[in-house]
């Protein structure tokens, strides 16, 4: 059976949204619902949870049994967005003021903490046997932890003078890789119980490839159409964020270009002019960083195909579709 | 057998500290160990985990089986301290700069998130059967969630004009009650498996009494010896924190006193003078708030004794000792 990913996302998205409203009621007068729903209403395509459910179904499981875990990943994702927006001092997300801007830093940190509690609660009430539930809790906790480790590298990478592609890849595997694989791994656990270690390892390996692929594409989007934060181009440059472009160029650039690059990256966001952004873009182009990034991301996707060929399912297409889909922009 | 609480805390504290160093290695070069251990080294008497282990032992269990859960509570406690210090804008804790002051807000939020991941990990590797492990994860998640709900009330209570003792008690039951009971409940679960619902309910009820008792004493300490943040008296008044004293006085005060009280509580911390603090103290004294708070806390402790009499153990003394101990200052 061929599965159309976008169609599945639409169908599963409705189920996810219904359960989300149960787990986090939108109208409670508790200082938590309001900031959380201000954030949740700004959008999100429910792609991560949908991919969990698609994986579960493709491996012979009942997607309804994976629904709580799928939602937990979506909640975790939003918890990270709330905390990351404070950490990165982002004032806009999807053309709306971020939660910390609208409700203050204290409420934004605390609302993120609440989301995490509800994510764990959601897994704990999953309609599945205890052993699988514990396995899901392990996967979820590992993913949460590795993502935080990646974020620690990210926070402290700003303007690092000896930044390399290798450092970038380590960061991205941690911050994005576990996270992208987590839903698929969970879907596999629900489908097949605990006797699928081999498949689980393969799906984690997929994540290690898809994470960088996704992030490199995201880095490129920031330089072309902007990340939906008021349509601003070059937000990563203003933030001094160590993108693939920055890592690659840092390794190649001559001393003059490298010094100029670091100087602009280290500037405070409000002091970085549009001319500065253009200057960095020119340096990136001079070293072919943008072309290289595009090619590198596409190569990673091709590598995932080899792993997908080893996953025990008759329908390889759906996993390849997922890999392609996840390497595109999913915010 | 009589158990000396302080003696037990010392013995168990060593075991807790050893496991803590395994779960969160102090010397990793990952931008997480350093801020976390800067915080952990400022102290902490390991009272919460010790009480978990004492409870487990008194109810006939093996405390070694509860050690991971006990440590998870200690880690949760420290995660909340990291986030609370940012949320309350506290610059000093135990006479040291707080983590957000020393390492920045981004690293402090993220280090707190990491602690929570390790707390869950710690429970997940507990040497106990799956069903008990899931029960512990449920207790832990409930406690985490309720504490966050209490924090939401706390953040938004600042300078609330119609503050009442009832609102205060609701806040404190959430923010402190679950938290204090959690270790004892977990100790009971490890001791007796899942066939102890009655005992568990009684221990949660203890928490609902001990939480306010502890918090009211903490509120009083802030007005007498200070909370160890550079020895400053009246830190709660400067922060505009809705203490028991504030709630009680708000309900009784005439319009003039109430207006003066709110005006000072609403001032930014840096604008609140020592004269302002003294002025609030004078109002509190005029309405007998300090005496009443002392009496109210002691009454709560006495009420815990009735519940303790129903817990199925031959040694009631140890639980009464715990209740007394936990109503004292434990930071």
Question: A134 and B149: CB-CB below 8 Å?
Answer: no
Return residues 141-170 of A near B (CB < 8 Å): 141-142, 144-145, 148-149, 151-153, 155-156
Q: Which residues of chain A neighbour B106 with C-beta distances below 8 Å?
A: 86-88, 155
pLDDT digits (tens, 9 = 90+) for A80-113: 999 999 999 989 988 899 999 999 999 999 999 9
pLDDT digits (tens, 9 = 90+) for A8-55: 888 999 999 999 999 999 999 999 999 999 999 987 778 889 999 999
Residue in the structure block whose two tokens are 């898809």: A210
Cβ-Cβ contacts under 8 Å for A155 (sequence gap 6 or more):
A87, B31, B104, B106, B107, B110
Q: Which residues of chain B neighbour A85 with C-beta distances below 8 Å?
A: none
Identify the CA nearest to B85 among candidates B103, B102, B99, B104. Answer: B99
Average pLDDT, chain B: 91
Helices (H) and strands (E) in chain B, counts: 16, 2
Closest CB to B145: pick one of A86, A104, A121.
A121
Closest CB to A148: pick one of B114, B134, B148.
B114
Which of the residues in chain A have pLDDT under 70? 1-3, 159, 193-196, 227-231, 328-331
Closest CB to A134: pick one of B30, B118, B130.
B130
Which residues are A93's β-sheet partners? A96
Cβ-Cβ contacts under 8 Å for B324 (sequence gap 6 or more):
B301
Identify the CA nearest to B316 among candidates B209, B192, B213, B202. Answer: B202
Question: B124 and A131: CB-CB below 8 Å?
Answer: no
* B81 and B38 Cβ atoms separated by less than 8 Å: no
Q: A146 CA to chain B: closest CA distance, Å? A: 9
Res B164: pLDDT: 95
Kind of pairing between the strands at A96-97 and B96-97: unpaired
Question: A107 and B152: CB-CB below 8 Å?
Answer: yes
pLDDT at residue B3 greater than cutoff 60: no
ipTM of predicted assembly, 2 dp = 0.93
Q: A305 CA to chain B: closest CA distance, Å? A: 32
In degrees rounded to 5, what are phi and psi of residue B96? -120, 150
Banded model confidence at residue B331, pLDDT cuts 50, 70, 90: very low
pLDDT digits (tens, 9 = 90+) for B71-109: 999 999 999 999 999 999 989 988 899 999 999 999 999
A124 contact B CB<8A? yes
Higher pLDDT, B143 or A229: B143
Closest Cα in chain A to B120: A141
Res B306: pLDDT: 92
Identify the CA nearest to B179 among candidates B203, B207, B199, B152. Answer: B207
Res B193: pLDDT: 64
pLDDT digits (tens, 9 = 90+) for B19-73: 999 999 999 999 999 999 999 998 778 888 999 999 999 888 999 999 999 999 9
Res A314: pLDDT: 76
* A78 and A84 Cβ atoms separated by less than 8 Å: no
Q: A92 CA to chain B: closest CA distance, Å? A: 17
From the candidates A113, A118, A240, which should be mutated to test the interface with B, based on the most B CB atoms within 10 A? A113
Q: Which residues of chain A neighbour B86 with C-beta distances below 8 Å?
A: 105-106, 109
* Angle, CA of A187, A190 and A196, to the nearest 5°: 90
Res A228: pLDDT: 57
Q: What share of chain B in percent tops pLDDT 90?
A: 69
Res A82: pLDDT: 98
Q: What share of chain B in percent tops pLDDT 70?
A: 95
> B5-327: which CATH architecture?
Orthogonal Bundle (1.10)
In degrees rounded to 5, what are phi and psi of residue B277? -60, -45
Banded model confidence at residue B228, pLDDT cuts 50, 70, 90: low
pLDDT at residue B194 greater than cutoff 70: no
* B230 and B101 Cβ atoms separated by less than 8 Å: no
Kind of pairing between the strands at B96-97 and B92-93: antiparallel
Q: B81 CA to chain A: closest CA distance, Å? A: 12
* A70 and A183 Cβ atoms separated by less than 8 Å: yes
From the candidates B35, B76, B85, B120, which should be mutated to test the interface with A, based on the most A CB atoms within 10 A? B120
Res B12: pLDDT: 94
Burial state string for A18-51 with b = 16 or more CB within 10 A and e = fewer than 16: ebbeebbeeeeeebbbbbbbbbbebebebbbbbb
């Amino acid at each position: 059976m061929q599965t159309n990913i976008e169609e599945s996302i639409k169908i599963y998205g409705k189920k996810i949204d219904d359960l989300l409203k149960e787990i986090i009621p939108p109208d409670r007068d508790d200082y938590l619902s309001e900031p959380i729903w201000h954030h949740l209403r700004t959008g999100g395509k429910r792609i991560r949870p949908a991919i969990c459910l698609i994986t579960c179904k493709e491996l012979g499981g009942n997607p309804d049994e994976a629904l709580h875990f799928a939602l937990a990943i979506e909640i975790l994702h939003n918890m990270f967005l709330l905390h990351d927006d404070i950490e990165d001092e982002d004032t806009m997300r999807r053309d709306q003021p971020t939660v910390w801007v609208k409700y203050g830093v204290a409420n934004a940190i605390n609302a993120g903490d609440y989301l995490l509690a509800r994510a764990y609660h959601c897994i704990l009430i999953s309609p599945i046997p205890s052993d699988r539930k514990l396995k899901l809790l392990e996967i979820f906790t590992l993913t949460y932890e590795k993502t935080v480790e990646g974020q620690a590298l990210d926070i402290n990478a700003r303007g690092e003078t000896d930044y390399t592609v290798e450092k970038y890849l380590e960061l991205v595997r941690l911050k994005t890789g576990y996270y992208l694989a987590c839903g698929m791994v969970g879907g596999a656990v629900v489908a097949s119980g605990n006797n699928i270690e081999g498949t689980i390892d393969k799906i984690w390996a997929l994540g290690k490839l898809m994470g960088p692929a996704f992030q490199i594409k995201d880095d490129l989007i920031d330089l072309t159409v902007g990340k939906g934060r008021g349509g601003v181009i070059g937000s990563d440059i203003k933030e001094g964020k160590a993108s693939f472009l920055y890592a690659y160029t840092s390794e190649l650039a001559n001393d003059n270009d490298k010094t100029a690059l670091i100087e602009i990256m280290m500037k405070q966001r409000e002091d970085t002019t549009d001319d500065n952004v253009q200057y960095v873009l020119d340096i990136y182009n001079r070293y072919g960083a943008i072309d290289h990034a595009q090619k590198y991301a596409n190569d990673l996707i091709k590598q995932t195909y080899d792993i997908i060929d080893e996953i025990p399912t008759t329908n390889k297409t759906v996993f390849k579709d997922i890999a392609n889909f996840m390497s595109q922009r999913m915010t």
